[in-house]
Amino acid sequence: MKALNRHQITLYGKQQFLDWIKLVKPELHRWDLEALNHRPSAYLIEMEDQNCHGLVLEKCFRSIVEQELSQHIYVPKEHWPSEITFDLFRAWFSYQYHEEVYDLSLEKLVVFDD
C-alpha cells in the first residue's frame, strides 16, 4: 500500500446543477440527484493544511467544472455558462474532502495526460 502526496475530493452535483443540465440536455429530463451522483467524480488535489481546507479548490475549481461539463456530462462548449466562477461552483456542487489517499494496486500508476 502506498500513501499518495495528494488529498482527494469526491464531487456531487446539487439540484441547481441538475436543473441547468435538464435545460441544456432535455433528453436527461428524467434524471434526479441520485442518477446524477450515481458515479461521482473524484479529484486528486494538492495537500492542504487542515486549517486551510478549500483554498486549493479556489485555484482549481474552473478545471473541475470544465471537466464535469466536457467529460462527465458532455455538454457542448457553446452551451456552457458565460462565466465559470467560484460562486457558480459552490452553487452547483458539494464535495467530500479526504485527507488520506492510498493506492492499493500492485500495478504501476499510469497517468493519462489531456
- What is the dihedral angle through the alpha carbons of 44, 95, 79, 73, rounded to the nearest 10 degrees? 70
| Residues 33-64 pLDDT 10s | 999 999 999 999 988 776 666 788 889 999 99
Q: Taking a C-beta distance cutoff of 8 angstroms, is the pair 101, 8 a contact?
A: yes
Q: For residue 35, which amino acid is it?
A: A
- In angstroms and rounded to an integer, the radius of gyration of the C-alpha atoms of the chain is 15
pLDDT exceeds cutoff 90 at 111: no
pLDDT exceeds cutoff 80 at 113: no
